[in-house]
Structure 1
Amino acid sequence: MNQTSENLAAIDENLSKRDIELDPGGYFIIYLDRDAGLICAKHFTNVIDDRGLAVDPETGKVIPAKGKVERTYSTIYTGTTAKELCVKIFEETQPCPVTLLDHAAYLGREFVLAQMALISGQDYVQD
């Protein structure tokens, strides 16, 4: 079956709507530093409460999935390629800040998209 880019985009769009389990190890905000030629990933810690919601470990307040949240990141990781960033996070950082395999796979996909945007000059928006 020959897939078009529209079909593939629709598959990914549909999969982006699924429920996911939040990683007790925390979450990442990914962005580009074009001037430095870097993919950046800020890591934020969180605690998952008994409802399955991420809460700020300092305040106990729920961290909203949408909108602006003022929090301080625990670590910032940078790399020029997706692979370099994955090695830093998953192989060199102990203990690893990612505790779920689906979260690791998601980050790998996002880092590749960020790298492609860095190379092409297109905008990068984290899924």
Structure 2
Amino acid sequence: MNELAQTIKKLDDQLSKRPIALDPGGYFIIYIDRENELICAKYFTNIINEKGLAVDPETGEVIAARGKSNRTSETLFTGRSAKELCVKVIEENKQCPITMLDHAAYLGREFMRAEIALIMGTEYIQD
């Protein structure tokens, strides 16, 4: 890894630790389907409680940030590129679930990271 890449990685790692407000519109789990050469984004609804935590609208249980969840997604969006996925989630979706600009920016970054991993054949882990 060259010096510029190391500097950018260090900055990104530091920024990933900042506190964020969760989107009351819901959240996405992003992954790659290598067999079909797709970027996938499962959309889940949530409610933000008084402590700022995402909770399952059906059970009221706090949704863990890490680990497995037994929730069923509302929608599965797929695309061959970050741009195609953004168009499907934001532009073509009459009821776009994203209610915060910082969430839209985050998804754009993550979709690009997933696209690069798909092209390069490297592992993708959502930030």
- Percent identical pairs in the alignment equals 62
Following superposition, the deviation at residue 123 of structure 1 comes to 0.6
Following superposition, the deviation at residue 81 of structure 1 comes to 0.4
The equivalent of 2:109 in structure 1 is: 109
Q: Secondary structure at the match of 1:29?
A: strand
The equivalent of 1:14 in structure 2 is: 14
The equivalent of 2:86 in structure 1 is: 86
Following superposition, the deviation at residue 46 of structure 1 comes to 0.2
**Structure 2 counterpart of 1:12, one-letter code:** D
Q: Secondary structure at the match of 2:29?
A: strand
How far, CA to CA, are the matches of 1:37 and 1:111 in structure 2?
A: 14
- Work out whether 1:43 is the aligned partner of 2:43: yes
Q: Which structure 1 residue ranges, 5 or more long, are not aligned?
A: none
How far, CA to CA, are the matches of 1:64 and 1:114 in structure 2?
A: 22
Following superposition, the deviation at residue 70 of structure 1 comes to 1.0
The equivalent of 1:67 in structure 2 is: 67
**Structure 1 counterpart of 2:15, one-letter code:** L
How far, CA to CA, are the matches of 2:26 and 2:77 in structure 1?
A: 14
RMSD: 0.8
How far, CA to CA, are the matches of 2:30 and 2:59 in structure 1?
A: 24
Q: Secondary structure at the match of 2:104?
A: helix
**Structure 1 counterpart of 2:66, one-letter code:** K
Q: Secondary structure at the match of 2:32?
A: strand
Q: Secondary structure at the match of 1:41?
A: strand
Q: Secondary structure at the match of 1:4?
A: helix
**Structure 2 counterpart of 1:90, one-letter code:** I
How far, CA to CA, are the matches of 1:57 and 1:101 in structure 2?
A: 23
Q: Secondary structure at the match of 1:77?
A: strand
**Structure 2 counterpart of 1:40, one-letter code:** C
- 1:67-105 CA-to-partner distances (Å, cap 9, x unmatched) read 222110000000000000000011111211110000000
Runs of 4 or more above 4 Å deviation:
none
**Structure 2 counterpart of 1:89, one-letter code:** V
